[in-house]
Each structure stands twice: as structure tokens, then as C-alpha cells.
Amino acid sequence: MDINRSRGLYYILYVPHDELKPGLLGQLIQDEDERLEPYRYQVRLQKRNGMIDVTVLQDQQPVAAETSRQILTQIKEALL
């Protein structure tokens, strides 16, 4: 993760669960040509009306709600 705090941007790399091989060994043992390239996303935090608005972006555009939910859930789980 990379951070641009002054703009409220967090840069992350993410591979969706449905693209991962099942099981821990499946993820660890992969041929070089089978390795998945993570997608690049940005998580933007903006203060609005006394609250924090969280938006997940890819190429500076908001992503689909399901993708956003998956990414934010993973971030939450990593922080707990």
C-alpha cells in the first residue's frame, strides 16, 4: 500500500478471490506463467458533512459496488 495523505488517497494492489487458486498451497505453488498480476486501485477518503466518505477507484473512476465491498472488507479484516 502506498499513501498520499494530503489528498486522502491510498494506493493498493488487489487480486479478487475468484481469480485465486483454491487453498493455501494452490496460492503458494504456481508456475511462473500462472502468477496473477494484481489490479491497481485507489481508496479515497474525503470529509463530507462531518463524516468520512470512502470511495474505491480504478483509473480514477469509481468501481462497481461489489468490487468496492470486497476490497474494503479485506482492508477491514487486515486491520482487525
Q: Report pLDDT digits (tens) over 63-72.
A: 999 999 999 9
DSSP classification of residue 31: -
pLDDT tens-digit profile of 16-39?
766 655 555 554 555 555 556 788
Count of the separate structural domains present in the chain = 1
**Domain residues for 62?**
2-79
Is 0.85 topped by the overall pTM? Answer: no
**Interior CA angle at 52 toward 49 and 57, to 5°?**
120
Sheet holding 39-48, edge to edge: 2-4, 9-14, 39-48, 51-58, 61-62
